[in-house]
Structure 1
Amino acid sequence: MRPAWGQKFTKYFLVPQRYILGIMASLAILNAYTMRVSLSIAITEMVVHENFTVKRNNSDDCDLYDQHIRHFVEDRDILYDWDEYTQGVILSSFFWGYLISHVPGGVLSQQFGGKNVMGTGLLISAILTLIFPWLIQRSRGTIGIVIVARVVMGMGQGVLYPAINAILGQWVPARERAGIASVTYAGAHLGTVFTNVVSGFLISTTKDWASVFYLFGCLGLVWNFLWMLLCYSYPDLHPCMTDKEREFLLEELGERVDSDTKTIPWRDILTSMPVWSLIVGQWGHDWGWYVVSTDLPKYMHSVLRFNIAENGLWSSLPFLIMGFMTIAFGHSSDWLINRKFLTVTAARKTFSLIGHMGPAVFMISASYSGCNRTLVVALFTLSLAVMSFHYTGMKLNALDLSPNYSGTLMGLVNGFGVFAGMLAPYIIGILTPEQTLQEWRIIFWLTFVIFTVTMSAFLIFGSGEVQSWNAPKLEHIS
């Protein structure tokens, strides 16, 4: 029953609570990405750079290096002698911890609700982000300390998507699923934009790479306070929900099962072909996503020779377009399904196909555009704009297959996808030791092949239908 004080505050909430929850979850992802991606920008100003005029002697490489930035880098007091391989290990170490906590995060969210699980995980990440400069400076750049900090930060963020999916499964009706979820998942793209733009501006203005970690750590703490104040794991627990919304959710979510009464049907989940096709397809998408989200700033810096301020601006443009397109396509998907133009299965497969193969083609095209900065940025922008179809395709599929176990399912699916996040920076570090255009072209062709193979699995075996094991099996007392 709603407490008396909740009734008093209900009139001040003009926006339905499920929409507030979607916005706060989007801001959670945005905050998580600022803390995750900031190192990808900052690391370009933390390390000793080789002399490009000596290193670059291939006619296919760009010769637009900005001498202003060369002087800025050389004037810094502290630089760390991390080669491309070492940088790849550091960037990928986040995902070692991210992998560990995914499935436990899903299970805990199903059993105890996603609010506290997600809040605790992002609080750990925010604190580590805030003290990261101190840790790295105290250790004098010892990569062991850096890696441990990134691993623990990854563990804190690994619960994010499973917890969000568990909460959305409890709050979001099927007819609004793509629309609300697309707003939520757009936080990843907008967070990358915010990180790139603000990081580039802060570092070029303050001449201090540490400033980005202080800012994003503090913002993470502010979000955490608001999250714990405003949001709840289950509609039943929210003290300030209007009677109208409460009745609507009870009607639409009548099949919801309280998480503390559930036993997770692991055998059914692990033998389900739609689940495994989703795992394979998501892994392929995650590879391409991590290639651009983690290493696009390095490509802009090392190949196209953008300075740090330009790097932040132009690296962010593709993600900005992607964020808005994700929201637009989410509402379009709901419209097509509700009007019976597409079944849920057809919608998920169609949107996923476009979201995989479109980016693959544009990435390849960008690698053959040489040093034409405008054209390369345009092609990367198109690549990520089209990738936004994925977020109303595969990204929603765990909710389609099992609303009741969506948190656990997302933990499993995203957990496998994390292997892509671990491998991508590491493989890129190995295959691009000189950071040349030809080396990066190999990366983009590899991404094309991965997209093609993994998407084929989802097209053949994927489904948008609720699975039979979604309904918990009740034990009969004789």
Structure 2
Amino acid sequence: MLLGWRLTLSKLFLIPQRYILGIMGFLAVVNAYSLRVSLNIAITEMVVPGTSSYYDEDSCPSENANKTHNSVTNTAILYDWDETTKGLILSSFFWGYVLTHIPGGVLAEKFGGKYSLGLGILSTAVFTLITPWVIISTNGNWKVLVALRVIMGLGEGTTYPALNALLAKWVPLHERAKIGTLVYAGSQIGTIVSNSISGALINATKNWASVFYVFGAAGVLWFIIWQLICYSEPEDHPFISDKEKAYLKKALENVSEEKRQIPWREILTSAPLWALVAAQIGHDWGFFTMVTDLPTYMSDVLKFNVKENGIWTSLPYAVMWLVSMGSGWLCDWLVSSGCLGITFARKLFTTIASLGPAIFIMIASYSGCDRYLTVAMFTIAMGFMGPFYCGMKVNALDLAPNYAGTLMAIVNGIGAITGIIAPYLAGALTEDHTLKQWRTVFWITFAIFNVTNIIYCLFGSAEEQRWNDPSQLKEQKLDTNYGSVNDQGKFAKKEVENSVV
């Protein structure tokens, strides 16, 4: 009876379960970013409108601006936060986010990614729902809001390590770029959804609180569906087809099913891993600068109102998502057809995703007060960032699928430190909202993109590392010990010979 029920359910799912997991993983990242960045648009309407007495000849004149006041007219829910304070608030999420990456990766590999991913998103959704109550009840105490954002970051820090552990169990090598890109490119869709809906909601309700209620509820709904239809491994799935299970078992032979001790020494002394860290730092610095600070730039420098801000800050991420998906398919085709080696492909697409954004972000900063030209340059910059996902983002799966969660925890966790630094630095450098001050921010981004890409191109690799296979790692240690014994024997023999002489 149980077998018949299982067969009936498997027939209901026309899409293979690895693709369903990919779609739900994509929606997980959509929710993660919606919850994370919902504050970025909202905060532009949470502060008391102010003017700077600082004069800059390059400043965009306010008389040409559409934004003359906040959409939120209730002054009781507007707060006097300066740019440095706003930078602290926006960066505080990452204080908690970086701390749970490695624990999240270890837990995902030990117990499966289903629960560490699901519970992480659920906790962030719940804290998002209570954010308006916390802010209003404390009369805009920014320190309390910072503490709340740190707790939200703790919950969401498990997201990427858990997803990488899941992909390692479910996705064959020749599908890795397109399914990995589908999942990780959810960050663009989450940013698009959050920015566009946030602007429209605030404009319609005249209240920033609605943003947190909508995205918090969406996160809870995703969690319920995730728990019902997704599982950590193919072997655990109650209604996967036997054909797909057999296919995945054969395609993922290099992924061990035994519980393993993590080879920390080998991982932490791996040059390709640290090259990945460098590439992640470069991408994250640019991406977090754009995600966190672009709404502020649109509002304070280009003078877009909140509805326009939501629409125009969404456009770059829409283009980035389209490029991400297209480049994922292209990368898989180039590798499977033999046109490119996998290492060269990873480096090529990562380089495109570094140099393109670096160049066009700088052009945008020199576009002056031409608002739509500036938006066009930012859009092209983010479009070039799309190949990052089929470049270095899936590279950890190439190096060691058995430790994919741990590697992602290290790489993404260290990269996320830029989420602490970049928003705070941008706020501290742009107190007067001038183009010249923002150019400094973008020049720093330009330099970081280029330096980190050079490091990745020199030391990066997509070859599976020897320490990924527990049996090979054991043999390597035995060889080392055997060599030591031989050396000792040779030394003892030499001593005997010398004594005879």
Shared fold (TM-score, shorter chain, > 0.5): yes
Q: How does 1:45-444 map to 2 (within 5 A)?
A: 45-51=45-51, 55=53, 57-64=55-62, 66=65, 69-70=68-69, 72-73=71-72, 75-258=74-257, 261-444=259-442
Q: How far did 1:418 drift?
A: 1.1
Task: Quickly say closer, same or farther: Cα 1:393–1:341, change in 2 above 3 A.
Answer: same
Structure 1 contact 109–166 (Cα < 8 Å) conserved: yes
Question: Which amino acid is the alignment partner of residue 33 of structure 2?
Answer: Y
Per the alignment, in what secondary structure is the counterpart of residue 404 of structure 1?
A: helix
Question: Which amino acid is the alignment partner of residue 313 of structure 1?
Answer: I
Quote the residue 1:8 is aligned against. Answer: 8
Task: Quickly say closer, same or farther: Cα 1:425–1:71, change in 2 above 3 A.
Answer: closer
Q: How far did 1:270 drift?
A: 0.2
Structure 1 contact 166–406 (Cα < 8 Å) conserved: yes
Distance in 2, matches of 1:13 and 1:269, equals 39
Quote the residue 1:451 is aligned against. Answer: 449
Question: Which amino acid is the alignment partner of residue 409 of structure 1?
Answer: L
Unaligned segments of structure 1, at least 5 residues: none
Distance in 1, matches of 2:58 and 2:67, equals 23
Q: How far did 1:6 drift?
A: 2.1
Unaligned segments of structure 2, at least 5 residues: 476-501
Matched residue count: 473
Distance in 1, matches of 2:333 and 2:77, equals 54
Deviations 1:247-268 (A, max 9, x none): 2111101222125x21111000
Q: How far did 1:68 drift?
A: 6.0
Distance in 1, matches of 2:354 and 2:395, equals 15
Which stretch shows the higher mean deviation, 164-173 or 7-16? 7-16
Deviations 1:130-153 (A, max 9, x none): 111001111111122101110010
Question: Which amino acid is the alignment partner of residue 13 of structure 2?
Answer: F
Question: Which amino acid is the alignment partner of residue 188 of structure 1?
Answer: S
Q: How far did 1:51 drift?
A: 2.8
Which stretch shows the higher mean deviation, 143-152 or 163-172? 143-152
Distance in 1, matches of 2:365 and 2:278, equals 26
Deviations 1:78-111 (A, max 9, x none): 2111100001001100000001101110011011
Q: How far did 1:8 drift?
A: 2.1
Distance in 2, matches of 1:183 and 1:71, equals 37
Question: Which amino acid is the alignment partner of residue 457 of structure 1?
Answer: I
- State the TM-score, normalized to the length of structure 2: 0.92
Percentage of matched positions with identical amino acids: 50
Deviations 1:290-330 (A, max 9, x none): 00011100000011000000000000000011111101100
C-alpha RMSD over aligned residues:
1.6
Quote the residue 2:23 is aligned against. Answer: 23
Question: Which amino acid is the alignment partner of residue 198 of structure 2?
Answer: S
Q: How far did 1:389 drift?
A: 1.1
Q: How far did 1:125 drift?
A: 0.2
Which portions of structure 1, spanning 4 or more consecutive aligned residues, are displaced by more than 6 angstroms?
none
Structure 2 contact 429–441 (Cα < 8 Å) conserved: yes
Structure 2 contact 282–448 (Cα < 8 Å) conserved: yes
Larger radius of gyration: 2
Structure 1 contact 166–405 (Cα < 8 Å) conserved: yes
Distance in 2, matches of 1:192 and 1:409, equals 25
Quote the residue 2:480 is aligned against. Answer: none
Question: Which amino acid is the alignment partner of residue 169 of structure 1?
Answer: A
Question: Which amino acid is the alignment partner of residue 287 of structure 1?
Answer: W
Structure 2 contact 284–419 (Cα < 8 Å) conserved: yes
Question: Which amino acid is the alignment partner of residue 413 of structure 2?
Answer: G
- State the TM-score, normalized to the length of structure 1: 0.96
Task: Quickly say closer, same or farther: Cα 1:71–1:201, change in 2 above 3 A.
Answer: closer
Structure 1 contact 186–324 (Cα < 8 Å) conserved: no
Quote the residue 2:481 is aligned against. Answer: none
Q: How far did 1:76 drift?
A: 3.6
Q: How far did 1:427 drift?
A: 0.6
Q: How far did 1:276 drift?
A: 0.7
Task: Quickly say closer, same or farther: Cα 1:222–1:443, change in 2 above 3 A.
Answer: same
Q: How far did 1:180 drift?
A: 0.5
Task: Quickly say closer, same or farther: Cα 1:273–1:70, change in 2 above 3 A.
Answer: same
Structure 2 contact 66–305 (Cα < 8 Å) conserved: no
Structure 2 contact 71–306 (Cα < 8 Å) conserved: no
Question: Which amino acid is the alignment partner of residue 19 of structure 1?
Answer: Y
Distance in 1, matches of 2:182 and 2:72, equals 38
Quote the residue 2:497 is aligned against. Answer: none
Structure 2 contact 72–202 (Cα < 8 Å) conserved: no
Deviations 1:336-363 (A, max 9, x none): 0000111110000000001001100000
Distance in 1, matches of 2:12 and 2:39, equals 40
Structure 1 contact 69–308 (Cα < 8 Å) conserved: no
Per the alignment, in what secondary structure is the counterpart of residue 77 of structure 2?
A: coil
Distance in 1, matches of 2:194 and 2:380, equals 20
Per the alignment, in what secondary structure is the counterpart of residue 15 of structure 1?
A: coil
Per the alignment, in what secondary structure is the counterpart of residue 393 of structure 1?
A: helix
Q: How far did 1:70 drift?
A: 1.1
Structure 1 contact 162–408 (Cα < 8 Å) conserved: yes
Q: How far did 1:72 drift?
A: 3.7
Per the alignment, in what secondary structure is the counterpart of residue 449 of structure 1?
A: helix
Q: How far did 1:437 drift?
A: 0.6
